[in-house]
């Protein structure tokens, strides 16, 4: 996107001063993110929303407006919650032929991490997402729109994956036979959480649904949680999705796209740190079934992400941004390696959860 074009768009928002620069920023897989600096020195994050992934931008922005307004009344400092910058003409997003844009105030003196560099960061991300769960516990979930229906419905993700294998539009299926077999062998797991929810054994809550470590900003000096970001996927869901997705990303000391699989495993010390942080903030609210299923959710969210990456590889990389050949396949392989490792460690994970689910921990 040409720089002048981005500056013109940024200047449609009520910035302090005029936009002076706009540069690509961050490592997200979905939206285009830009750092905008105004001549006043104030910094902003401007994003072009990926409306192929999020066709209902209006519903998505309504969700974000409602959730950020709600959270802003609960936090003690404005920086502890994402804040949208309104358009000069009113409204919170701009639309033109190049897409949909929104602007957030930049969270200053804070960091996001692509992988766990210091174990304490993972603990604090658990605190952040546990608190997020807690703060939204009295938000009326039924008023939120389901921005991506069945987002974490593993059963429906599995059906999409099988369709991608059948269609095999890129002719890649034969070269990933081992990965396909790995996925198919775990079919019995894909309905477990969905069925528990259907039977009323797991409550519907307001959830973030994309609780990667890089979706929480931590204080640059203290590492303490500052703000949960990337609220595009906030919608009604299961608390297990948020816990499981965090463990998927952060309990693995290697990167999500690491090629050397010997570096990829579920580090139980990291698992314990996150569990401790998460449960310290929301254990009072979780039911016995939710707590019992936490270890399984880590495996299931990892498996689900693995089949999503594999399906995208088979479909020609149309969903997740890729930066090299076979990028989605590499990502799938890390997820499946993690699933295997988690399967071996399920009992130990359950012991850890049990220890931290009791008050006083
Ligand atoms: P994506 O959906 O593509 O992952 P994100 O909303 O997570 O996009 O943003 C990408 C990156 O931009 C984040 O990881 C973070 O580093 C940075 N970022 C996003 N919002 C803010 C903000 N309000 N202040 C500072 N940095 C931000
Ligand atoms: C995407 O937007 P980002 O990069 O935080 C994806 C998540 C995946 C994740 C895998 C809307 O998250 O569901 O778990 O990549 N977001 C969407 O890294 O599909
Ligand atoms: Mg993100």
183: which strand partners?
A: none
Q: Coil, strand or helix: which one is 32?
A: strand
57-100: per-residue pLDDT in tens? 999 999 999 999 999 999 989 899 999 999 999 999 999 999 99
Going from the C-alpha of 22 to that of each of 3, 38, 112, 162, the distances in angstroms are 6, 9, 20, 41
| Cα(208) to centroid(ligand 1), Å | 14
Distance, CA of 260 to CA of 283 (rounded, Å) = 36
Cα 20 versus chain centre, distance: 31
How far is C-alpha 314 from the chain's CA centre? Answer: 23
Angle at Cα 97 formed by Cα 94 and Cα 103, nearest 5°? Answer: 25
Write the DSSP symbol of residue 51.
T
- Give the pLDDT score at 360: 62
pLDDT at 159: 98
DSSP line for 57-118:
HHHHHHHHHHHHHHHHTT-SSGGGS--BPPBTTSSS-EEETTEEEEEEE--TTEE--SS-SS
Q: Looking at residue 315, what is its pLDDT? A: 98
Q: Give the per-residue pLDDT at 28.
A: 81
3-class DSSP state for residue 44? strand
161-215 pLDDT tens trace: 999 999 999 999 999 999 999 999 999 999 999 999 999 999 999 999 999 999 9
C-beta separation of 50 from 31 below 8 A:
yes
Nearest to 313 by CA among 187, 179, 212: 179
What pLDDT is recorded for position 325? 98
Nearest ligand to the CA atom of 112: 1
**What is the DSSP-derived secondary structure letter of residue 42?**
-
Ligand 1: residues within 6 Å at CB? Answer: 25-26, 28-31, 33, 45, 82, 104, 106-107, 112, 214-215, 229-230, 232
Q: Which sequence spans correspond to the domains of the chain? A: 3-108, 119-356
- What pLDDT, on a 0 to 100 scale, did the predictor assign at position 361? 57
Low-confidence ranges of the chain (pLDDT < 70): 1, 359-361
310 contacts 180 by C-beta, under 8 angstroms: yes
Is the sign of the CA dihedral 251, 254, 257, 262 positive or negative? negative
Q: What distance in angstroms lies between residue 112's CA and the mean position of ligand 3's atoms? A: 10
Distance 27 CA to ligand 1 centre (A): 8
Residue 166 has what DSSP assignment? H
Which listed ligand is nearest to 214 at the C-alpha? 1
Cα 126 to its chain centre, rounded Å, is 13
CB-CB neighbours of 11 under 10 Å? 15
* CATH fold for domain 119-356: Aminoglycoside 3'-phosphotransferase; Chain: A, domain 2 (3.90.1200)
Which ligand approaches the C-alpha of residue 304 most closely?
A: 2
Q: For 350, list phi and psi in degrees, rounded to 5.
A: -65, -40
Ligand 2 atom closest to Cα of residue 230: 5
* Closest protein CA for atom 13 of ligand 2: 210
Residue 30 CA to ligand 2 center (angstroms) comes to: 7
User: Could you tell me the distance, in angstroms and rounded to a whole number, from the CA of residue 29 to the centre of ligand 2?
Assistant: 6
Q: Which fold has domain 3-108?
A: Phosphorylase Kinase; domain 1 (3.30.200)
Which residues have C-beta under 5 Å from ligand 3, the single-atom ion? 28, 215, 230
> Which residue CA neighbors atom 12 of ligand 1 most closely?
26
Distance CA 298, CA 67 (A): 26
Per-residue tokens: 1: 């996107």
């Amino acid at each position: 996107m040409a720089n002048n074009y981005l500056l013109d768009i940024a200047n449609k928002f009520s910035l302090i001063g005029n936009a002076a620069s706009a540069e690509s920023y961050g490592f997200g897989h979905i939206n285009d993110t830009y750092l905008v600096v105004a001549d006043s020195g104030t910094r902003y994050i401007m994003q072009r929303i990926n409306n192929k992934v999020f066709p209902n931008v209006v519903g998505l922005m309504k969700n974000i407006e409602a959730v950020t307004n709600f959270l802003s009344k609960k936090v003690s400092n404005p920086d502890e919650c994402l804040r949208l910058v309104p358009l000069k003409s009113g409204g919170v997003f701009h639309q033109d032929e190049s897409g949909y844009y929104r602007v957030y105030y930049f969270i200053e003196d804070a960091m996001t991490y692509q992988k766990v560099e210091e174990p304490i960061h993972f603990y604090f991300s658990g605190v952040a997402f546990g608190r997020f769960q807690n703060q939204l516990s009295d938000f009326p979930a039924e008023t939120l729109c389901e921005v991506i229906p069945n987002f974490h419905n593993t059963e429906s993700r599995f059906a999409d994956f099988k369709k991608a294998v059948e269609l095999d539009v890129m002719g890649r299926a034969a070269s990933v036979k081992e990965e396909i077999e790995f996925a198919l062998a775990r079919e019995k797991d894909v309905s477990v959480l969905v069925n528990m929810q259907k039977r009323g054994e797991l409550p519907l809550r307001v959830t973030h649904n994309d609780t990667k470590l890089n979706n929480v900003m931590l204080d640059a000096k203290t590492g303490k949680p500052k703000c949960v970001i990337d609220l595009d996927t906030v919608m009604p869901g299961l608390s297990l999705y948020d816990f499981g997705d965090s463990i998927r990303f952060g309990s693995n000391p290697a990167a999500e796209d690491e090629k050397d699989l010997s570096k990829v495993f579920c580090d139980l010390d990291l698992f314990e740190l996150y569990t401790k942080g998460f449960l310290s903030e929301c254990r009072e609210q979780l039911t016995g079934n939710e707590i019992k299923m936490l270890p399984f959710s880590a495996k299931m969210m990892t498996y689900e992400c693995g089949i999503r990456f594999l399906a995208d590889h088979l479909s020609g990389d149309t969903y997740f941004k890729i930066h090299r050949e076979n990028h989605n396949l590499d990502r799938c392989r890390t997820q499946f390696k993690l699933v295997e490792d988690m399967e071996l460690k399920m009992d130990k994970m359950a012991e850890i959860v049990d220890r931290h689910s009791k008050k006083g921990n």
